[in-house]
Amino acid sequence: MHKKHCLALACSLALGGPLAHASSQSETNGFVEDASLNLLLRNAYFNRDYKDNTNDAKTWGQGFIATFESGFTQGTVGFGVDAFGLLGVKLDSGRGRNYRAFFDTDSEGRPVDDLSQAGGAVKLRVSNTVIKYGNQFPSLPVLAHDDSRLLPQSFTGTLVTSNEIEGLELNAGRFTADSPMGDSARDPNRLKSIDVLGGSYAVSDDLSLAAYHADLEDMYKRYYANVNYNLALAADQALNFDFNIYRTKYDTGSVAAVDLGGDGQGDRNTIWSLAAKYSIGAHAFIVAHQRISATAAMPALLMTTVMAVPAST
């Protein structure tokens, strides 16, 4: 229901309104003129000592990440495409010491020599609203692709991004497939669906707010909020405060162990942080505090399915 409301709002804003600002679509140069092609070469080595007499993970690989982003065709409704190609080549590893987030293994437990994957998405833009469907690299507070290893993770689905009101960005999406790092297969974990909804608003040059919600079917619901405030002290000095909070509640009907807290309410966790940053010239000093209260681990969509990151109270 929330997703439908956000989509309806995005469509209505795209048709114009008193608060709308200059249209990005009216200023487009064209499909080819605004296109870009990038190639990233990434060489990475991973060594993990498990400290329990098991084989350590030792893997070395070379990654090639090519991304293409077209511009939008001219007119009231602009059309475009995005595409990517991924190639990972094993330089060193072996059975029993392969790092799964780099390379998949064969039937005998040996890491594959190389892996590749290609994907694409179609997109359309009306005014300042973009609708994209296909293979994507989402970067939202409640759903962000993992690019911390050799090759990036990607998701398949639909994402609507609206910037019709100056300073306000709205996002609504539904993703139904996940391509994890180190795997050339599309959705090997059989992700059912994850719905995302939220937005951010720059109240002023010094104050911004954000709120997001994600619903991973049969797994959990997650909520996120952020407040960021900047206080100018002098010409080259400023004090910034950044508050973040995540709240996750597991689906008690589908997760095996859902009441570790023993209170009959199912497993959940809350993580919040507050950071203060003092900037002077090119230098910055940061003091931050983070706290976790939980009856379950913090879930994360990483190289396999939902991975539980150990929690502390």
Residue 297 has a pLDDT of 58
Residue 92 has a pLDDT of 84
According to DSSP H, which parts of the chain are helical? 2-14
Residue 311 clears pLDDT 50, i.e. is over it: no
Q: What is the pLDDT of residues 38-94, one digit of tens each?
A: 999 999 998 888 777 677 888 899 999 999 999 999 999 999 999 999 999 989 887
Q: What is the pTM of this model?
A: 0.83
In CATH terms, 22-216 corresponds, of 2.40.160.10, 3.40.50.720, 3.40.50.1820, 1.25.50.10, to: 2.40.160.10
Residue 219 clears pLDDT 90, i.e. is over it: no
Q: What is the pLDDT of residues 118-156, one digit of tens each?
A: 999 999 999 999 999 999 999 999 999 999 889 999 999
Q: Are 219 and 257 in contact (CB under 8 A)?
A: no
pLDDT band (50, 70, 90) for residue 181 = confident
Mean pLDDT value across residues 177-204: 88
pLDDT band (50, 70, 90) for residue 296 = low
* 99-113, 167-181, 293-307, range with greatest mean pLDDT: 167-181
Mean pLDDT value across residues 254-265: 54
Q: What is the pLDDT of residues 159-178, one digit of tens each?
A: 999 999 999 999 999 999 99
Residue 5 clears pLDDT 60, i.e. is over it: no
Region for 137 from its dihedrals, namely left if φ exceeds 0, alpha if ψ lies in -120 to 50, beta otherwise = beta
Residue 250 has a pLDDT of 83
**Mean pLDDT score of the chain:** 84
Domain ranges of the chain: 22-216, 229-304
Residue 9 clears pLDDT 60, i.e. is over it: no
Give, in order, the Cα–Cα distances in Å from 161 to each of 13, 65, 93: 11, 25, 41
Residue 104 clears pLDDT 90, i.e. is over it: no
Instruction: For the chain, give the percent of residues with pLDDT over 70.
Output: 81
Mean pLDDT value across residues 227-256: 88
- CA atoms of 73 and 188, how far apart (whole Å): 35
Q: Which long-range contacts (CB under 8 A, 24 or more apart) does 220-227 make?
A: 220/248, 220/249, 220/250, 220/251, 220/255, 220/299, 220/306, 221/248, 221/249, 221/251, 222/142, 222/246, 222/247, 222/248, 222/249, 222/299, 223/142, 223/247, 223/248, 224/141, 224/142, 224/198, 226/141, 226/200
Mean pLDDT value across residues 261-273: 72
Residue 198 clears pLDDT 90, i.e. is over it: yes
Q: Are 273 and 150 in contact (CB under 8 A)?
A: no
Lowest-confidence range among 134-138, 275-279, 309-313? 309-313
